[in-house]
């Protein structure tokens, strides 16, 4: 039985996306299609990511297990956790999805948590991941890693010069966020 006093004074955090229906953001869908047609156009996807929300999946993870007299296991506790994927080389990536449909294709049991893409990138770095994998089950899988992951997480400005993209980092002591 749950102790009702345990949640006394607790408040639900208001969503940053109250009208979100879980659809793929059009600007991101368009950028992913352009990138799929021309893999040199990754800057368009990164630019779109700066302005959209992503869905980070959380799944139930079995915690402590208690066994009865017959040796049968009973779930004593469980926690919800974001999903990290481990590559063959041992490096970790945080999964994120552009919409409920792409998340459900991957795992219909996962719960979506809507966050700005910047927050998803920050979470990846905090979890010691080296990448943020967008829509791992398709239709277009995009990987944000290296300087792009750091730039997106930091909120830096994406710039393009002579067809190359890079992140403009504020100067030390700048009042910019």
Please give the model's pTM, rounded to 2 decimal places.
Answer: 0.79
Determine the length of the chain.
Answer: 177
Average pLDDT over the chain, rounded to an integer = 86
Q: In the numeric block, which tokens belong to residue 76?
A: 């004593």
pLDDT at 146: 96
Q: From the CB of residue 59, how many other CB atoms can be counted at a distance below 10 Å?
A: 14
Distance separating alpha carbons of residues 52 and 117, to the nearest angstrom: 6
Distance separating alpha carbons of residues 77 and 37, to the nearest angstrom: 47
**Percent of the chain whose pLDDT exceeds 70:** 81
Distances (CA, A) of 121 to 17, 53, 71, 153: 18, 11, 43, 5
Distance separating alpha carbons of residues 158 and 89, to the nearest angstrom: 29
Is pLDDT above 90 for 18? Answer: no
Eight-state DSSP code of residue 174: -
pLDDT at 1: 44
DSSP H helices in 14-173: 26-37, 42-49, 100-106, 117-126, 146-154
Instruction: Tell me the per-residue pLDDT of 32-52, one tens digit each, with 9 for 90 and over.
Output: 999 999 999 899 999 999 999
pLDDT at 60: 75
Per-residue pLDDT band for 2 (boundaries 50, 70, 90) equals: very low
CA nearest to 32, candidates 177, 141, 136, 150: 141
């Amino acid at each position: 039985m749950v102790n009702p006093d345990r949640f006394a004074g607790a408040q639900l955090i208001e969503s940053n996306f109250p009208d979100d229906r879980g659809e793929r953001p059009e600007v991101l869908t368009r950028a992913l299609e352009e990138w799929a047609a021309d893999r040199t156009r990754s800057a368009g996807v990164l630019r779109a990511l700066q302005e959209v929300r992503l869905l980070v999946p959380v799944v139930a993870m079995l915690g402590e297990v208690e066994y009865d007299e017959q040796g049968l296991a009973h779930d004593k506790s469980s926690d919800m956790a974001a999903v990290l994927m481990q590559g063959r080389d041992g490096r970790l990536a945080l999964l994120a999805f552009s919409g409920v449909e792409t998340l459900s294709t991957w795992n219909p049991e996962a719960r979506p948590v809507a966050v700005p893409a910047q927050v998803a990138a920050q979470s990846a770095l905090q979890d010691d991941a080296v990448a943020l994998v967008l829509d791992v089950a398709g239709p277009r899988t995009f990987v944000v890693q290296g300087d792009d992951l750091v730039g997106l997480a930091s909120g830096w400005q994406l710039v393009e010069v002579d067809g190359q993209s890079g992140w403009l980092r504020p100067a030390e002591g700048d009042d910019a966020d």
